[in-house]
Amino acid sequence: MAEKLHVVMLPWIAFGHMIPFFQLSVALAKAGIKVSFVSTPKNIKRLPEVPPGLEDLVEFVQFPLPSLENDVLPEDGEATVDIPAEKMEYLKIAYDLLKHPLKQFIADELPDWIIIDMMPYWMVDIARENKVPLIHFSVFSAVAYVFLGHPECLVGDGQKRLRPSWKSMTSKPVWVDFPSSVAYRNDEAVGVFEGIYGENASGITDGERVFRILNGCQAFAVRSCAEFEGDYLNLFERLIGKPVIPVGLLPREKPERKQLTDGRYVVEKGLGVEIERGEDGSFTRDGVDKALKLAMVSVEGKSLREKASEAGALFGNLKLHQDYYIGKFVDFLKKRNV
């Protein structure tokens, strides 16, 4: 068995993805695992510094983002934050071209594991060709993936049957066998449906990307914990028939935009209040004022404030998230080399 496990990390080039992948890299390095974090030069320069003492265990591997014809992407645009929304599909094309240098990199390095995000579906074949096991790490909650359902719901006849239109995303999925209020509003569902199942210039929908990755990976890891969404973790493991491993909540460098399904689940857990909105998703000053009063000062909000305090203690429990959850994840990674 090798002295140290070697893991290659490949996030999507959005900072809401790269930062959690970086934090997982640091957590694994603290447990003695060597990590190669792959991204583009400009993105790597914008990441936090590796904590002192871990520099030898976290290596940044830079591959230039391939250029496209006709200058369809802004010069030096290497992350979603640099790209106008209407050109995001072209960023996916450029990202997919990274498969060529990464294929050679994996063949040369032969790491013990590859951990990938939701976009690089082509890593499934690269991992298989080199006999390297693959893990899909989700920066979203288990709630979000349960809402997507079994992988077959993401493509073809399965999608047409169970997700025929945006309206199918406005109610609890039939496969959720416990009480849940997680669903999208009408005004949200239209955009989410198009984003997951709609065609784009890359030639593959986001839904099919996730489908191929879930089918090709050996395990699914998620930034979560059983204390927060145990029912959803268990259900998703049943849906995909593979190990679902919560890695804890991971320290975060700064607040980030949450998925709509995540926010809805926070309300379901009694940890937040959703501002009343119109059918078009708009809200009023009175609606904001009402939600703030309910959450902060009203008698009705007392339970919410108590639960939020308890959740704060859970989310900030570094011993739980690093020692227990990362510890269990490391044990899982080591089993392959025993």
Three-state DSSP class for 232? helix
pLDDT in tens, 199-217: 999 999 999 999 999 999 9
Name the DSSP letter for residue 71: G
| 322: Cβ contacts below 8 Å, ≥ 6 apart | 27, 30, 248
| Boundaries of every domain in the chain | 6-257+317-335
State the catalytic residue, choosing from 96, 112, 117, 206. 117
Contacts 24+ apart (CB under 8 A), 160-163: 163/193, 163/197
- Is 6 one of the catalytic residues? no
Contact 44/65 with Cβ under 8 angstroms?
A: no
Q: For domain 6-257+317-335, which architecture applies?
A: 3-Layer(aba) Sandwich (3.40)
Element (H, E) at 207: helix 206-216
For 187, counting Cβ atoms within 10 Å of its Cβ (0-12 exposed, 13-18 middle, 19+ buried), the class is: middle
Give CA–CA dist 330/25, Å, rounded: 12
Q: What integer best gives the mean pLDDT of the chain?
A: 86
As a whole number of angstroms, the distance between CA 139 and CA 122 comes to 19
- The pLDDT confidence band at residue 256, using thresholds 50, 70 and 90, is very low
**Residues 7-53 pLDDT 10s:** 999 999 999 999 999 999 999 999 999 999 999 999 999 999 999 99
Report pTM.
Answer: 0.82
State the average pLDDT over residues 138-159: 95
Q: Catalytic: which of 17, 136, 150, 321?
A: 17
- With a pLDDT cut of 90, the percent of the chain lying above it is 72
Known catalytic residue: 117? yes
